[in-house]
């Protein structure tokens, strides 16, 4: 009885979110969900390309209490449906919003499914214009430099620092968790430069330096493709493009 009372009190104390159940994730042919922190998950879906073959593409999920937010959709509606079902039906988390980090299909390929489910979508006004120009699914709500959304008692940020992978690329940041979703602006360790069709390689390193300066205490960094890590991913990306 004393143990049960102690556990009840601990779960009510501030800063004890780590006591919440933390499921390992989910795997199917279309989608993988991997836990990388307390309430932080990387979602991985796949894009068939002529140049690179079948490419794994990352997004990020965060939840706090009964609410959640998604950075970038999976690459298609099927994988997006699985992600939303996993959050809403398996984990009992309300999906507050999806934030799209740039206009390429690996960021918004499943956007129609989010809209079908009545989930609000956000992106920079630049991303909205480019998505419309490319006849992609178009995020509903725009912003210029930064947006802050509530997730339970926490805050999730989307912010533009400058050009790099594309002229509209933004990053996601969770200040309460010191976790950064770099998207395709940030490279995994030992990666090549990747798709440069819409890139500004001359500004890329400078933009990532600004990200690093803004969040010096970052602990977790998720790139648009490949393995997550820490601050070393920002340093690697800067080094990769600083000679441009």
Catalytic center residues: 102, 104, 106, 165, 184, 187, 195, 225
CB burial readout 191-228, b (16+ within 10 A) else e: beebbeebbbeebbbbbbbebbeebeebebbbbbbbeb
**Quick check: helix, strand or coil at residue 59?**
strand
**Quick check: helix, strand or coil at residue 239?**
helix
The Cα–Cα gap between 54 and 47 comes to: 6
The Cα–Cα gap between 81 and 92 comes to: 15
């Amino acid at each position: 009885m004393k143990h049960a009372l102690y556990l009840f009190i601990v779960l009510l104390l501030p800063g004890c979110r780590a006591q919440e159940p933390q499921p390992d994730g989910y795997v199917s042919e279309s989608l993988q969900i991997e836990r990388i922190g307390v309430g932080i998950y990387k979602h991985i879906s796949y894009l068939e390309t002529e140049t690179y073959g079948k490419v794994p593409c990352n997004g990020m999920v965060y939840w706090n209490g009964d609410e959640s937010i998604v950075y970038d959709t999976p690459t298609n509606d099927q994988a997006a449906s699985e992600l939303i079902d996993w959050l809403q039906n398996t984990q009992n988390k309300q999906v507050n919003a999806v934030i799209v980090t740039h206009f390429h299909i690996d960021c918004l390929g499943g956007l129609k499914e989010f809209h079908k489910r009545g989930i609000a979508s956000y992106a920079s006004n630049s991303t909205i214009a480019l998505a419309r120009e490319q006849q992609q699914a178009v995020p509903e709500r725009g912003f210029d430099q930064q947006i802050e959304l509530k997730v339970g008692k926490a805050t999730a940020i989307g912010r533009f620092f400058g050009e790099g992978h594309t002229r509209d690329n933004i990053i996601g940041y969770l200040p309460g968790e010191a976790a950064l979703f770099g998207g395709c602006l940030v490279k995994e360790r030992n990666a090549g430069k990747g798709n440069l069709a819409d890139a500004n390689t001359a500004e890329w390193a400078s933009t990532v330096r600004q990200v690093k300066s803004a969040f010096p205490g970052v602990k977790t960094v998720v790139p648009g493709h490949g393995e997550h890590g820490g601050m070393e991913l920002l340093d690697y990306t800067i080094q990769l493009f600083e000679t441009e």
